[in-house]
């Protein structure tokens, strides 16, 4: 029996390691390419060696990327530096890592004649839009180097689809959360911060007045969408990938419970973010299943006990 072979760049990170679980569950052999700048081996340690191979490489610097891509069916390109403030402090590092890194991955995938490449784009490309829910047709408004590097990556992926008929799809993730969410970084996302603070019995740091809203999507719903995309015939498309529901930071804090501490707003972050997900729902017959209440409750249980 022929197994599908999937490459996950950034597969030791939060989203990549969850995706690896889903792919292995449906019988794929997974190859992870990661430099462990934020990913962890422990995120993947529950897998058997026959299902998963890990290579410690930097996709933006490695000179022999092609060798890892030989015989691959699918490529999920998730490797990237993913924080806003560090991208403002060191834009060059972000451009090399995220934009050049993407170019190298796309070139290697092209040579290997893969069946589908999925790129992890970001809703940060919509900047401070006032149009909600935001559709893929909304204008691009890049507010910081992180957003710019992720968008350039998308342009590379789509230009290879257009010029060379590569079977590429770009998914613009909104706020993804779930098990193994990064809680260590100084600038980690709100749910990661709240998890860490609750565990350490510290007050929850709410940015601004907490009335900002975000579109939170559970990583299991996200992974299901990935799998439906690779099973589909879709190519050369861009999709929003969110829950289509808005949740305020204050209501997330309420789901966690406990004391709150208000801290100043951070630069470049929009007041609201909400995905219009009609396009992906229609094209792959997918819908998010995990409510934010259920998702947070499961995370709290997993983190505390
Ligand atoms: N988490 C979100 O809400 C969100 C939203 C929009 C887009 N994204 C994108 O999704 C992707 C995955 O995000 P995540 O939340 O899992 O972050 P993460 O930091 O947990 O995962 C990123 C992984 O990429 C690896 N990596 C970074 N640069 C690399 C390089 N040059 N070579 C090899 N490996 C490298 C890291 O070690 C890490 O394992 C990122 O590209 C991010 O920009 C995430």
Q: Is 78 in the pocket of ligand 1 (CB under 6 A)?
A: yes
Would you place residue 242 in the very low, low, confident or very high pLDDT band (cuts 50, 70, 90)? very high
The pLDDT score that the predictor gives to residue 186 is 67
What burial class does residue 60 get, using C-beta atoms within 10 Å of its C-beta: 0-12 exposed, 13-18 middle, 19+ buried? Answer: buried
**Helix 219-231, helix 14-25: angle, nearest 10:** 50
- Of the residues 146, 160, 177, 239, only one is catalytic, namely 146
Would you place residue 268 in the very low, low, confident or very high pLDDT band (cuts 50, 70, 90)? confident
Testing ligand 1's pocket by substitution, the residue of 10, 19, 35, 124 carrying the most ligand atoms inside 8 A of its CB is 10
Contact assessment for residue 221 and residue 275, using Cβ atoms and an 8 Å cutoff: no
pLDDT over 90, % of the chain: 92
Q: Is 65 in the pocket of ligand 1 (CB under 6 A)?
A: no
Closest residue to atom 42 of ligand 1, CA basis: 82
Query: What CATH number matches the domain at 5-177+217-244+274-289, 3.40.50.720, 3.90.1750.10, 3.50.30.30, 3.30.499.10?
Result: 3.40.50.720
* Residue whose C-alpha is closest to residue 57's, from 34, 28, 74, 76: 34
Q: Which atom, in ligand 1's list, is nearest to the CA of 121?
A: 7
pLDDT for 164-209, tens place per residue? 999 999 999 999 999 999 887 667 789 999 999 999 999 999 999 9
Q: Which atom, in ligand 1's list, is nearest to the CA of 101?
A: 31
pLDDT for 281-291, tens place per residue? 999 999 999 99
pLDDT at 280 over 80: yes
Closest residue to atom 32 of ligand 1, CA basis: 58
Q: Which atom, in ligand 1's list, is nearest to the CA of 124?
A: 6
The pLDDT score that the predictor gives to residue 241 is 98
pLDDT at 305 over 60: no
Q: How far is CA 146 from CA 34, 83, 115, 119, 142, in A?
A: 19, 7, 28, 15, 9
Q: Which of 82-86, 264-268, 282-286 has the lowest mean pLDDT?
A: 264-268
* Ligand 1 mean position, distance from CA 131 (Å): 27
Q: Is 192 in the pocket of ligand 1 (CB under 6 A)?
A: no
The pLDDT score that the predictor gives to residue 184 is 78
Virtual CA dihedral for 131, 276, 210, 18, nearest 10 degrees? Answer: -150
Q: How far is CA 200 from CA 125, 196, 203, 303, in A?
A: 34, 6, 9, 11
The pLDDT score that the predictor gives to residue 304 is 63
pTM of the shown model: 0.97
305 is catalytic: no
pLDDT for 29-81, tens place per residue? 999 999 999 999 999 999 999 999 999 999 999 999 999 999 999 999 999 99
Average pLDDT, whole number, for the chain? 96
Tokens representing 246? 């808005």
CA gap 114, 33 in Å, rounded: 16
Q: Is the peptide bond before 128 cis (omega within 30 degrees of 0)?
A: no
Burial 213-238 (b: 16+ CB within 10 A, else e): bbbbbbbbbbbbbbbebbeeebeebb
Would you place residue 1 in the very low, low, confident or very high pLDDT band (cuts 50, 70, 90)? low
Q: Is 155 in the pocket of ligand 1 (CB under 6 A)?
A: no
The pLDDT score that the predictor gives to residue 156 is 99
Taking residues 204-232, what's their average pLDDT? 97
Other C-beta atoms within 10 Å of 263: how many?
10
Closest residue to atom 13 of ligand 1, CA basis: 15
- Are β-strands 247-248 and 213-214 bridged in parallel, bridged antiparallel, or unpaired? antiparallel
């Amino acid at each position: 029996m022929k197994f599908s072979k999937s490459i996950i760049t950034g597969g030791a990170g939060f989203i990549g390691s969850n995706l690896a679980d889903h792919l292995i569950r449906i019988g794929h052999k997974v190859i992870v390419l990661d430099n462990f700048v934020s990913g962890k081996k422990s995120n993947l340690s529950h897998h058997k060696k026959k299902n998963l191979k890990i290579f410690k490489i930097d996709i933006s610097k490695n000179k022999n990327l092609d060798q890892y891509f030989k015989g691959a069916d699918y490529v999920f390109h998730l490797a990237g530096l993913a924080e806003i403030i560090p991208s403002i402090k060191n834009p060059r590092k972000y451009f090399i890592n995220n934009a050049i890194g993407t170019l190298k991955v796309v070139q290697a995938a092209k040579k290997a004649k893969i069946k589908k490449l999925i790129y992890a784009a970001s809703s940060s490309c919509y900047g401070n839009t006032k149009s909600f829910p935001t559709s893929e047709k909304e204008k691009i408004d890049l507010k910081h180097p992180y957003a710019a590097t992720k968008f350039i990556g998308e342009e590379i992926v789509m230009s290879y689809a257009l010029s060379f008929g590569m079977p590429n799809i770009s998914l613009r993730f909104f706020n993804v959360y779930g098990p193994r969410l990064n809680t260590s970084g100084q600038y980690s996302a709100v749910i990661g911060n709240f998890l860490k603070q609750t565990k350490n019995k510290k007050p929850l740091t709410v940015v601004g007045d907490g009335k900002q809203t975000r579109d939170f999507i559970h990583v299991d719903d996200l992974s299901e969408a990935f799998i439906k995309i690779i099973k589909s015939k879709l190519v050369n498309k861009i999709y929003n990938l969110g829950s289509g529901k808005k949740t305020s930071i204050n209501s997330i804090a309420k789901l966690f419970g406990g004391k709150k501490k208000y801290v100043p707003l951070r630069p470049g972050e929009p007041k609201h973010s909400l995905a219009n997900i009609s396009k992906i729902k229609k094209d792959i017959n997918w819908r998010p299943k995990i409510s934010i209440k259920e998702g947070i409750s499961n995370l709290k249980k997993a983190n505390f006990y």
